[in-house]
Amino acid sequence: MVVAHPSGPAMNHKPSTPAGARRPLPTARDEVLARIRAANAAAGTRPDAPSRSGTERPPSSENLPGTESWPGTEDPPSTQSWPGAESPHGIESPHGIESPHGIDGAPTAASAGSVSDPMPDRAYRRSGGPPPGDPRLLALLRERLVDYRATVLDCAAGDEPATIRAALAAAGVVVDTGVAAANGVTTDGVTTDGVTTDGVTTDGAGADGAGRVSGRVVVPPGLPAGWCPDGIIDRGFDAAMLDGFAAVVTGCAAVCALTGTIALDGSPDQGRRAITLVPDVHICVVRAEQVVHGVPELFARLGRAPSRPITLISGPSATSDIEFDRVEGVHGPRTLTVILVR
């Protein structure tokens, strides 16, 4: 496109430069646009650019449209930014502003072609491992959990209550009504310090000299009856109240053996996310048929209820952000015990 003479009515025209005068230095914007044009020309996105398979060099700035000399100078002050300069897609902008779209905002043929191509079929693996509950999966899950410094206890169906009591004891949690009452936690609405909320106070967990933690255990509303008869059902306790519990006992939604990841989805036997984050000990009961091989199988199971909140647990809470020193219990329970029901 030929630029109108500066004396004409062209928009945003540049003033003429007297003969012999030094031409203005290009601006940073001019340099950026020049690089964009050169890159587009080299990539073959301009209609006048040679094919990438050819041996021709990209056209120089002297051959680009809109680079004719200004009156009184051998070269224009800038070869990139005046009105009429073509955009990378061959559409002229009325104000010299480049856009990947046409003047009316519609995509040009060059820009539309790239978005209309169908997405390739990536053929992700969605199955192929051992079936859920396979002994090989259970062995792999155990290996992953132990590597994450979690504790794994085997359990036969029907022995969940006894195994849960053993897990709490192994984690140093003393579940005793008399000890709990002495620490200000009761289930009858009466506390030793006169402060209570539905029978639960915020100072219900304390450590003795042997490192054991005396306190109550919070359980979700849908935990199977008899699994933890001494547990206190969650009634929407706030964080301060949950901090008074020594442990939490839950079920799970599904488990990925390959990554050692336990998934909770807020079902009645798992409860709110908060109850699995605040107490220092988490006892999680996993049934063998809930253990799948990989991540695709895990999310296929979780996808049955996509609106539920998902919590993924891979071992106890730990971080090594500061000087690579491992610190446990920062963002969640310090101790994770998995009871594997076969």
Domain finish residue from 86, 115, 144? 115
- Nearest CA to 174 out of 247, 242, 243, 224 is that of 247
Is 215:245 a contact under the CB 8 Å cutoff? Answer: yes
pLDDT at res. 204: 47
Residue 180 CB burial class (10 angstroms; 0-12, 13-18, ≥19) = buried
The answer to whether residue 57 sits within a structural domain is: yes
- pLDDT tens digit sequence for 264-290: 999 999 999 999 999 999 999 999 999
The answer to whether residue 293 sits within a structural domain is: yes
Cα(16)–Cα(250) distance, rounded to whole angstroms?
A: 80
The answer to whether residue 19 sits within a structural domain is: no
Residues 109 and 147 in one domain: no
pLDDT at res. 209: 43
pLDDT under 70: residue ranges of the chain: 1-24, 45-117, 176-214, 329
pLDDT at res. 69: 45
pLDDT at res. 328: 76
pLDDT at res. 305: 79
Per the structure, the count of domains in the chain is 2
Residues 81 and 182 in one domain: no
Cα(184)–Cα(198) distance, rounded to whole angstroms?
A: 13
- CATH at 212: 3.40.50.10420
Q: Which helix (H) or strand (E) holds 29?
A: helix 28-43
User: Taking the complete model, does pTM exceed 0.75, yes or no?
Assistant: no
Residues 270 and 312 in one domain: yes
Tell me the Ramachandran region of residue 12: left when phi exceeds 0, alpha when psi lies from -120 to 50, beta otherwise.
left
Q: Which helix (H) or strand (E) holds 165?
A: helix 160-170
To the nearest 10°, report the CA torsion of 290, 294, 296, 299: 40
Please give the residue range of the domain that contains residue 246. 135-341
- pLDDT tens digit sequence for 73-91: 444 444 444 444 444 444 4
> Around Cβ 25, how many Cβ atoms within 10 Å?
9
* Beta-bridge partner residues of 283: 249, 337
Is 142:120 a contact under the CB 8 Å cutoff? Answer: no
Q: Tell me what the pLDDT averaged over the chain comes to.
A: 74
pLDDT at res. 313: 95
pLDDT at res. 170: 93
Residues 278 and 247 in one domain: yes
The H helix count followed by the E strand count for the chain is 7, 15
Token look-up 């959990």 returns 145
Residues 223 and 322 in one domain: yes
- pLDDT tens digit sequence for 151-201: 999 999 999 999 999 999 999 998 855 434 434 444 443 333 333 444 444
